[in-house]
A and B are shown apart, each in its own frame.
Chain A
Amino acid sequence: MAKRSYTQKEHELLSKASRLFNRAAFIGVLIGLSLAMRWAPVSWFKKPELADRPVLDAMAADTLVIDGIHVSSGLIADDRFNIIKANCMACHSGKLISQNRATREGWKEMITWMQKTQGLWDLGENEVPILDYLSEHYAPQVAGRRSALKNIEWYELEQ
C-alpha cells in the first residue's frame, strides 16, 4: 500500500499539536516533581543516618572475618571460601553447612541430592575444591551414644 502523504496544512496542524502536547507534558512533570519534593520523606534526599546502622552493619558483616571465621555464616574463611559462598550460599544459609558434619562421600551425596531435587547446578571444576573444603573442615567427630553436657553457662540460682 502506498504511503499517504500529508498536505502542508495537515503537517502544520500536526506539529502544532505535538508542540502543545510536549509543553503540557513538561509542565506536568514539573508539577509532579515539586509535589514529590514537598511530600516525599526527608530520607529520600539524604544519606542513611547512624540509626540505619543495623542494616549497614549487616551488609558489612557479609565480608567480616574474625579469627579465620566468616562471622555471619560461621564458616571457616580459607582460600576456598569464595567458591563455597558463590555455589552454596546463593540458595541457602552458610549455617546449614557449618552445623553439619559428614565424610567426603557424605558431602558428595548431599551435593548430588541438591542437584537432583533442589536445582543446584553442575559444579564443574569447583566440585573438587568444594569437597576438599567440606571434608577437611566439617568432618564427623567421634561421639558415643551420649556426649557429656557441653558449654554450660553457670549461674547462681535464686530460689
Chain B
Amino acid sequence: MDLFNLTANQLLTMISSGQISAADVLSSVRVRQQAVGQKTNAFIRTYDETGNGAAFPVPIGIKDNICVKGREVTCASKILKGFRPPYDAAVVEKIKASGGIVLGSLNMDEFAFGSSTESSSYGIVRNPWDLGCVPGGSSGGSAAAVAAGEAVWAIGSDTGGSIRQPASFCGVVGLKPTYGRVSRYGLIAFGSSLDQIGPITKDTTDCARLLGILAGFDHRDSTSVDLPVPDYTKSLDRHVRGLRVGIPKEYFIDGIQPSVLAAVQAAIDFYKKEGALICEISLPHTEYAVATYYIVATAEASSNLARFDGVEYGLRAVPSRPRKAGIVDMYEETRAKGFGNEAKRRIMLGTYVLSAGYYDAYYLRAQKARTLIKNDLDKAFLDCDVILSPTAPTTAFRIGEKTNDPLSMYLSDIFTIPANLAGIPAISLPCGFDEKNLPIGLQLMAAPFAEERLLAAAFAYEQAHGWHVQRAKL
C-alpha cells in the first residue's frame, strides 16, 4: 500500500494498531517527494528532520512565506534570497510542539501575488492531475504537494483565495479560517487586513485536526482573537437536517464552466435531499468585490513591501553608474533586481491608489465598498448557516493561458475574495471532476468563528460522495 496516499487520520489508526511505524510514513512521503518532485516542483527546498519522538510525527510542508527558524525563507522571491529567520512563526512552533515534522518550504507565487504559481522565481508549479495545467495559487506548491502525496499536510496562506482556489484546482481540502483565528506571527505580510494562515489536507477530518493545531490566541499578533479553540474533529457530523444553505444568486453568473456549474448544482441537490433548507439569497455588491480587493490588497502590499530595501536582509544591488543619491540608487536598484513583474505591478498600483490626489477616489472608496460587501454577508447569515458556491469559475487552466492578461487572472478569484474582505471562514472541498478529469471545488462560507459548522457541512457531503479518495496518477 502507498502510505503517501493516505490521510493522517488513516495513518494514525494504522500506527496505533501496530500495522506500520511512523518511520514508514516519513520514508514513504520522502521517497514519493523524490520520485515526483521534479514533475510538480511543489517544494522549493526540503530538509531531513526526524522529529522529536512524537507517536505520530505528521510530515508537513510549509508555504515559503512562513518563517522556519534557521531555514531559508524567501516568499519565492529573489529579494529575500539567503534570508534565514532567527525565529519560528507561531504556526511552526505549534506544528513542532504537536510533534509534526517540517519537510521543507513550498513553492508559491512571488509574495503570494498570483492565482497560478507561475510568478515564483523558483519556477512554475505543475498540477498533479495534469502537468500542463497550473495548480492554482498562490499556495500552489502547498495544494500540489498534498495532492501528489509529497506531504501529508501543508500550510498555506489566503489573502484573496490563495488556499481555497489551489485546493479546488488540485482536488484537496483547503480552509481559510476567520480573520484572527490563527496567529500570523512569522507570516511575511501581504495584505494585513486580509491575510490568514490555514490548512491544506486530503480530507475534512484531517482539516479539522490541523486547524485545531494552528488555531489559538497569540499576543504577538495584535489581530489575534482570544477565543477558546474547540476540538474541531468533534464537529464532524453526517447530519445536515435543518441546516440552512444559502445560494447567492450573484455567484451563478455567465462564464462559469458548465461542468463546474453541474457539480455544484448536484451538491445543492444533495443537501436538499438530506433535509437541509436551501434558500436563495442575494449578495448585491458581489460584482464590486474584485475591484475593491485589488485596491485594498495592493495598497497594503505596497506598504508591507516597503521594508525590502536592501538594508537589513536579503538582496542588495547598486547600479553600475550612479543615477541619484547613493542610498536611493541602492534602494531602487535592489527593488528593481529583486522583485518580479507581478510584484512590481502590485507595488505600483498600490502606491498609485494611496498617492496624493488619488487616495479618496480609489483607496477610501474601496474601503467603503468593502463595508457594503461585508454588510451583505452579515445580513445573509441572519437567514442561512452556510453559503454555498463554486470555489472558482473554472477548473485548472493551462500553464501560460493567463500570464499576459493580469485582469483575467485576477477574475479567477471572484468567488473567494468576499470571504477575505469580510474576514469570514470558508472551505473548499472536492465535488467532482470535469470532462478532462480535472478536480472541481465546492466552497462553503460561514459567519465569523463558525468553522465547526463549515467542517460539519463539508464532512457530510464528503462522506456521501468519496471524491476525496481519488488520487492523481503521477
B and A form one assembly: no
